[in-house]
Structure 1
Amino acid sequence: MLIATRVMKLVAALIVCWLCVAEALENCPSVCKCSQKASMEKTEVNCKKRGLQSIPSKLPLDSWILKLGENSLQDLQSNILSSVPKIESVKLERNSIRSIHPQAFAGAQRLMLLNLQGNRISKLPVKGFKDLLNLRFLMLGQNQISALKPNMFIGMRNLSELDLPLNALNALPPNAFKPLIALKVLDLSLNRIQRISPKAFVGLRELLFLNMDNNKLTSIQAGTFAPLVGLEMLVLDNNLISTLTESTLEGLSNLQELYVRKNEIESLPADVFRHTPKLTHVGLSGNRLHAIDGNMLANMQGLKDVTLHDNPWKCDCSINSLVHYLAEKKTTHSPRQRLRCISPEEFRDRPIQELTPEELSCRA
């Protein structure tokens, strides 16, 4: 009797499960493919590469993943997700989206991932993401976004990663990211950013990684990075930065990796890393450094890796401390054959690690 009862309950459960799957498949748009996870009332709707010009009006009620990438969508109208209250992931990458209605994502409070990469978006709607209270990942790379405003990101208190590479940003205004109090990763690489307001990063106390590679920065005002008290990695490669001072890095007490490769830096003050006691990796290759204080590097107790190649090193007494540092420290640094003298002529193209302090004189 007990076995029969269990069998009946199992059969009943299977019937309920089958009915749910049948209902999900019945509501599946004809141009899409729907699949339901075993033992879960969650349907994945795959409409990728179907030539769609609009989002299907009828979707399974239990949709949790919606794939609409590589279609021909141009405009996101209001309430596009109102029929799928359980939706957690929406992928709209590589369409032709130009505009987003301020109420496009209204009610999508369970949404965790929104991918809008590779579209033609030039302007984000004011308060357009305010209902996305649980969004963790927002991907906006490869668009044409030219400006940011503080109220663009209101409501996104749980956002963890914001990707904005390959856009047309030329400046970061005050409080640009202030509502994003939980942000961990911010990618602003491959834009045209020339100016950063000293208050641009206010509110980003939880940020761990900031990428500003390949922009047009020439200088950074003192204290700009000060709000980033938790930052662990800062990438400023491939800019036009000519000076780096201790006030530039003010507040970055948790910074572990700093990369300013391929810039225009000619010299570094001895106290440049005074505010960054936890630095382990420093990238300075591809600048215009003629000399550097080796004692400054030696005093960085946690330093594990420093790259210095592709700089126009002047091999005279001004690099005595650097030669000593390279000989004494076990820090990983630029390959021997890539760290070479440019001048004077008698040392031209000679590896710096082969020099001795006795050779390096400074003529009056």
Structure 2
Amino acid sequence: MERIVLYLVFFSIIYCYEFVHASDCDIKIVFKDNEDVKIADCKNKGLTFIPQDLPGDIKVLDMSSNRLRMIVNNSFVNYKYLQELFLRQNQLHYLFKKSFQGLHKLAILDMSENILNLSEVYSAELFHPIKNLTKLDIRSNMPQPIEVDTDYNYPDHAFGILTELSFLGIDMMPLPYFGSGFGQMTTITQLQFESCYLVRLSNKTFQGFSSSVEQLTLRNCRLHFVVTEDNALLPFPKLHVIDFSGTFMHLKHALQLLHPYRNTKMTTINFGHVSDVSIDRADIPYVLTITVDIMKNLKTICVENLDLSENGIVDYEPGSLFSFNHPKCLRHISFKRNRFMLFSDKNLNEIQIFFSKTVKLKSIDYSYNAVNYVMKNSVTSNSDLNCSLHSCVILPKSLEKIYLSYTIANTFPIIYLIVPKNNSLIYVDVSYSNSNIAILILQIRVETFISNGGDYSFAWNQLKRSSYNTLKTIVWKNADKMMQ
């Protein structure tokens, strides 16, 4: 109690100074959602208290990147029309019970990147004045814990009143327990975790949440290898976005988590860099060959955006990586930073069939791969082009972007990637690549061509055939040949 009194005395002195200098905030009016919105921009002003002389009808107050350490009672009572409040990147470590008194219209509250301890700050009364919040972001507040083997109880007594919330950004502790209060957030659709120290994703981890969640983000959990249970995502039957990028649980285990979503539609599955060289055991080796069993869940899902980048993939069995039940759903696919041959004699016909069915595929990212491959058999395509001497793959007409930068891919014999007529290809990046895979563009519509550190001759031989110029951007830096 004495500590709080001392804080109040100290900050009362500073408050008087800042009251005079609060006019340093920039007041502006913008047209938003068919109305004029008055904004008080107080970012990066060195403030340690909430200014009290701002216009009473402001609807947005941005106090980001200041030196706030606490929010005292009734700090915002002069701003009853406030709808959005940004307090990110301060030094907040204490909130009084009536810190948000009077903000009955507040919809968005961002207190990310502070030092607000989940166990100490959030009282049962704190959110009562702002119970109509639709977005709450308190990510990047918790420090790395010392103990990782004990349950961590989240203050559901405080959060349970936020029944209108649609977005919650919060930190993830090693062994989290989310009480029944979180289940009262029946309108929540986006759940994002940051400062992630998770060590176990069990079948009980998310049981306390409402089934309304549609987007789940759990990035960069790297404190320990995350042990998973196959039905951990079962409480979220409506998920259509899963982003576990950078969370070390191994690709094999991540793909097993998709079991509840077999034969469903999903917008995004991002399992980029869920395997890491630090995870290398006999049962889950980092050097991974994709098998039919590993793909058994993913292949049934109608997914639009798929990221399997940086996972130690070195090979794939026939009938696995490119055997989707719904290839027409795919729009974007990324395999960057792996080490497998995208086109090989044993899979060339299979991938050609795959491409022929991906009628909506917009982009392929195969950058940062390095392989050498000797083809045992010459494979021909069924196109009307002469591929009798080489292996050919016809790319989808829908393809708009190809990323092949930093790729070493030498094959014998040469593989030709054919971009057919009436294509949609507008972006090609082959920077710093060393490959004898040839790209043959039958009708050039490319708008951006990037070939840093490459051979000018490939680009020039392609583009000089064009009867009309569609190019808007060409980047040829550090090339090792001049145009002939």
Q: What is the TM-score normalised by the length of structure 1?
A: 0.71
How far apart, CA to CA, are the structure 1 residues paired with 2:367 and 2:92? 50
Pick aligned residue for 1:263 from 259, 263, 274: 274
1:328 counterpart = 2:353: yes
State the 1:336 CA deviation.
8.4
State the 1:77 CA deviation.
2.2
Which structure shows the higher strand fraction? 2
Q: Quick one: structure 1 residues 132 and 353, their matched pair in 2 at CA, closer, same or farther if it must change by over 3 Å?
A: farther
8 Å Cα contact 1:31-1:50 kept in structure 2: no
* Letter of the 2:142 counterpart: Q
How far apart, CA to CA, are the structure 2 residues paired with 1:168 and 1:245? 18
Q: Quick one: structure 1 residues 225 and 29, their matched pair in 2 at CA, closer, same or farther if it must change by over 3 Å?
A: farther
> What secondary structure does 1:178 align onto?
helix
Superposed, which structure 2 residues align to 1:93-172 within 5 Å? 93-123=88-118, 124-127=121-124, 128-144=126-142, 148-164=154-170, 169-172=173-176
8 Å Cα contact 1:130-1:154 kept in structure 2: no
How far apart, CA to CA, are the structure 2 residues paired with 1:74 and 1:352? 64
1:292 aligns with 316
CA deviation map 1:298-350 (0-9, x unaligned) = 242144244345445499xxx98644422322145443883736899xxx965
* Letter of the 2:200 counterpart: R
1:201 counterpart = 2:206: yes
CA deviation map 1:119-162 (0-9, x unaligned) = 22233414332432221222223323666343342111222222
Q: Quick one: structure 1 residues 254 and 70, their matched pair in 2 at CA, closer, same or farther if it must change by over 3 Å?
A: same
Gaps (5+ residues) in structure 1?
A: 1-27, 356-364
How far apart, CA to CA, are the structure 1 residues paired with 2:318 and 2:38? 60
How far apart, CA to CA, are the structure 2 residues paired with 1:157 and 1:271? 38
2:391 aligns with none
> What secondary structure does 1:80 align onto?
coil
How far apart, CA to CA, are the structure 2 residues paired with 1:42 and 1:308? 44
Q: Quick one: structure 1 residues 88 and 350, their matched pair in 2 at CA, closer, same or farther if it must change by over 3 Å?
A: same
Q: Quick one: structure 1 residues 220 and 37, their matched pair in 2 at CA, closer, same or farther if it must change by over 3 Å?
A: same
State the 1:81 CA deviation.
2.8
> What secondary structure does 2:136 align onto?
strand
* Letter of the 2:260 counterpart: G
8 Å Cα contact 1:234-1:259 kept in structure 2: yes
How far apart, CA to CA, are the structure 2 residues paired with 1:209 and 1:353? 45
1:210 counterpart = 2:216: yes
Pick aligned residue for 2:233 from 225, 247, 266: 225
How far apart, CA to CA, are the structure 1 residues paired with 2:216 and 2:122? 24
How far apart, CA to CA, are the structure 1 residues paired with 2:80 and 2:26? 17
How far apart, CA to CA, are the structure 2 residues paired with 1:263 and 1:187? 17
How far apart, CA to CA, are the structure 2 residues paired with 1:141 and 1:195? 20
Q: Quick one: structure 1 residues 340 and 175, their matched pair in 2 at CA, closer, same or farther if it must change by over 3 Å?
A: farther
How far apart, CA to CA, are the structure 2 residues paired with 1:41 and 1:180? 31
Q: 298-307 or 113-122, which moves further after superposition?
A: 298-307
How far apart, CA to CA, are the structure 1 residues paired with 2:337 and 2:413? 14
> What secondary structure does 1:210 align onto?
strand
Q: Quick one: structure 1 residues 343 and 116, their matched pair in 2 at CA, closer, same or farther if it must change by over 3 Å?
A: farther
8 Å Cα contact 2:87-2:112 kept in structure 1: yes
> What secondary structure does 1:244 align onto?
helix
1:84 counterpart = 2:79: yes
Q: Quick one: structure 1 residues 54 and 224, their matched pair in 2 at CA, closer, same or farther if it must change by over 3 Å?
A: same
How far apart, CA to CA, are the structure 1 residues paired with 2:413 and 2:113? 46
8 Å Cα contact 2:26-2:41 kept in structure 1: yes
How far apart, CA to CA, are the structure 1 residues paired with 2:155 and 2:299? 30
CA deviation map 1:195-236 (0-9, x unaligned) = 234233343433232221211353321211112222211111
1:182 counterpart = 2:205: no
* Letter of the 2:136 counterpart: L
2:326 aligns with 301
> What secondary structure does 1:121 align onto?
coil
Cα RMSD, aligned residues only: 3.9
How far apart, CA to CA, are the structure 1 residues paired with 2:137 and 2:309? 31
8 Å Cα contact 1:231-1:254 kept in structure 2: no
How far apart, CA to CA, are the structure 1 residues paired with 2:412 and 2:195? 34
State the 1:241 CA deviation.
1.6
> What secondary structure does 1:199 align onto?
coil
1:12 aligns with none
2:260 aligns with 251
Q: 246-255 or 34-43, which moves further after superposition?
A: 34-43
Give the structure, 1 or 2, with the largest relative contact order (CA under 8 Å, sep 6 or more): 1
> What secondary structure does 2:59 align onto?
strand
State the 1:192 CA deviation.
2.3
8 Å Cα contact 1:246-1:275 kept in structure 2: no
* Letter of the 2:297 counterpart: F
> What secondary structure does 1:281 align onto?
strand
CA deviation map 1:244-266 (0-9, x unaligned) = 37651233334232121223264
Q: Quick one: structure 1 residues 335 and 289, their matched pair in 2 at CA, closer, same or farther if it must change by over 3 Å?
A: closer
State the 1:274 CA deviation.
6.1
* Letter of the 1:135 counterpart: L
How far apart, CA to CA, are the structure 2 residues paired with 1:120 and 1:133? 22
8 Å Cα contact 2:201-2:226 kept in structure 1: no
Q: 148-157 or 56-65, which moves further after superposition?
A: 56-65
2:297 aligns with 273
The number of residue pairs the alignment matches comes to 320
* Letter of the 1:31 counterpart: A
> What secondary structure does 2:306 align onto?
strand
How far apart, CA to CA, are the structure 1 residues paired with 2:27 and 2:248? 50
8 Å Cα contact 1:339-1:351 kept in structure 2: no
* Letter of the 1:76 counterpart: I
> What secondary structure does 1:257 align onto?
strand
2:306 aligns with 282
Q: Quick one: structure 1 residues 34 and 284, their matched pair in 2 at CA, closer, same or farther if it must change by over 3 Å?
A: closer
